[in-house]
Amino acid sequence: MKQFAVAVAVVFATSAASAGAVLTPYHVVPQERPSSRAEQVVRGPVDVGARRSVLEVGMVDTVGGTTHDWQTNGPIYRLLVNSPEYGVHVAWMYSASTSTSHPDRNMRYNFYDFSTREWNRIDTNFMLSGISVFAERSGYGGLDADPGSGVAVVSGHLGYPLRIDVARDTAPGAGIFEYCSGSPELEGYSYPALAVDSAGRMHVHCMEYPFAEDNFCTRCSTWCNWTEPVAIYPPVPNAEYPDQNIAGSKVSDKVCVTWVYSRAGYHQHPGFYRISTDGGKTWGTPAQLDWPPAFSGDTLPSFHISSLFPFFDRNDELHIVAAVAPFLRDSNFIIPAEIWHWKPDTWDRIHRAECAPGNLQGLVGFNALYACRPSIGEGEGGELYAAWEQFDSSNYDPGTGLLRADIFTARSTDSGATWQTVQLTAGGNVSHRFPSVIDLSPTDTVTMGFPWVMYMVDQVAGFAQRGQGPVTRNPIVVQRPGHVGIEESGHEHASKPVPAVRSLVRHVLSLPGRMRAELLDISGRRVMDLEPGQNDVRHLAPGVYFLRSAESGRRMAVRKIVIQR
């Protein structure tokens, strides 16, 4: 292990020098500043047909889009939430502007309604799908749902100087939000990780702004009645960067906050957690996580800035997933990277990502490991699911020289002791980034060993805000294992999953394998028989259609297709 880590350092230094580039800093935060509303905002048709995303399993729904490809700085927050009696909520950071200052930046929201089995707000131009949450420029927030009412709650920081705002929907999926704007307790804070506990109390784990050496947590026991934020840990000299996260139990009054003590320069970065058992009224003593038994010899484990992600399961047991990096001879490395699962007093390795140093074709970019940003949820049978982004050593973007990433998930049926990995995407000329796994796998899907996951399909690897390529229009997608089909008798059932077919189609609709299907218009009228392989659909009018494929006997699998010019 010692020789491997040293070799990696040599490869990266050599590749950066040969490209005339400078090695990227370990921690980078985007500059928050006022921006002009007069800058160009993109509206109208969007063409991403030249870019190809390859699915390994399941199916993908395109729920929205964004030009803001820097979706989070540190760990991923919860952005995909199931309200079992109503539907699935999804949120992301949105912009349609071609300016790197993103004057129209906002938190955006969409909802999958279990009663209709459709996303509420889908447009043929995916950039117009979903609905903006806040009335002014905002971002870097999280999502949760009230377990009683099923309504979505979305956080974000906004304004200048920054302040936190929290929005609550008026009904599940309605998209009509009420706000806590103007609450003095939320002024002067930023990067609000969000959790809602079993009683519907809202909690945010945030930082002071400008960036301070500590972080805070505040709670709202009744709507818009916020407490004064309390420091989660004493100020730490030379600490930097928002790497906090939070989880609320849906069956008790427990709340857990996590953070990484990440300092400027090269250090072995420890991770911490702190628990409240009374809905955020009081907090227990901060506890440092034991080091996982990662690596060996002189190579020590270090928690990365893209850690940590906490989660309470339906038995009220706390789980934390972490991205772990090698620390050797006073230096931090990005490869090999490991994803680990913790529950009290136990570490279990989920996944190890590595490659031979000579095979690395590029860098991973800012604030990333070779495998990083894990999140965790559970299934209806009590199984655990994790998701993360992982870079491909041989798939690099020729324009930026950065590696492209894919999405991986893992499943455990023994409370985290062992894990089986599934790769959801595989290459293509796009980068799959910032996955957030659903908290509870919906009951109306067929289990294929992976859960619902949302992520961004970045058209160019790298962050446009940092000059790594142009501003691009990037789909926000939810990949899921199955689909609710309809029998000819009209009775609903959980059908076998439909093979991967693009939700958005231009000119050619491709069917995998030996699949045959019918294409129906919105009225249910058959307009075309589809054969395996490529089917020319240029003669059809743009709009919403439905693909119906015979699976076995009388069962039919149905999914929506949007045909674009």
CATH of the domain at 273: 2.120.10.70
431 and 549, same domain (yes or no): no
pLDDT confidence of residue 342: 98
Q: What is the sign, positive or negative, of the torsion defined by CA atoms of 252, 151, 282, 309?
A: positive
Beta bridge partners of 435: none
Cβ atoms 208, 233 nearer than 8 A: no
User: 526 and 394 share a domain?
Assistant: no
pLDDT at 523: 61
And the tokens for 214?
């500590």
Q: Which residues of 451-473 are buried (b: 16+ CB within 10 A; e: fewer)?
A: bbbbbbbbbbbbbbbbebbebbb
What are the CA-CA distances from residue 226 to residues 107, 312, 441 (Å)?
21, 23, 31
Q: Note whether 136 and 36 are same-domain residues.
A: yes
Going by C-beta distance under 8 Å and a sequence separation of 6 or more, which residues neighbour residue 340?
Answer: 292, 294, 321, 322, 324, 347, 348, 349, 350
Taking the C-alpha atoms of 409, 410, 415 and 418 in order, what is their torsion angle to the nearest 10 degrees? -160
Q: In angstroms, rounded to a whole number, what is the distance separating the alpha carbons of residues 72 and 290?
A: 26
Which of 457, 482, 507 lies at the terminal end of a domain, its last residue? 482
Last residue of a domain, one of 482, 503, 518: 482
Same domain, 433 and 495: no
The number of residues in the chain equals: 565
SS3 content of the chain, % helix, strand, coil (to 5): 5, 45, 50
Regarding whether 351 and 266 lie in a shared domain, the answer is yes
* Residues 458 and 502 occupy one common structural domain: no
Residues 407 and 493 in one domain: no
Q: What's residue 14's pLDDT?
A: 27
- Where a domain ends, among 419, 447, 482? 482
For residues 404 and 471, give the distance between their C-alpha atoms in angstroms, rounded to a whole number: 16
Domain limits for position 531:
485-564
Under-50 pLDDT residues of the chain: 1-25, 36-47, 446, 483-500, 551-556
- CATH number for the domain that contains residue 545: 2.60.40
* Same structural domain, 471 and 508: no
Question: Do 26 and 143 lie in a common domain?
Answer: yes
Are the C-beta atoms of 528 and 540 separated by less than 8 Å?
Answer: yes
Q: What does the block give as tokens for 51? A: 């870019």
Token pair 């949007």: residue:
562
| Whether 320 and 454 share a structural domain | yes
What is the pTM (predicted TM-score) of this model?
0.80
What local confidence, expressed as pLDDT, does residue 458 receive? 96
Q: Which two tokens stand for residue 340?
A: 């680990």
Burial class, 254, CB count within 10 angstroms (exposed 0-12 / middle 13-18 / buried 19+): buried
542 vs 556: CA distance, rounded Å: 24
CB distance 453 to 478 below 8 Å: yes
DSSP state of 461: S
472-518 pLDDT tens trace: 999 999 998 854 332 222 222 233 333 445 567 778 888 877 778 88
Q: Which helix (H) or strand (E) holds 11?
A: helix 2-18
217 and 232 together in one domain: yes
Q: Do 188 and 141 reside in the same domain of the chain?
A: yes
pLDDT at 42: 39
Two tokens at 489? Answer: 């008798």
- The count of structural domains within the chain is 2
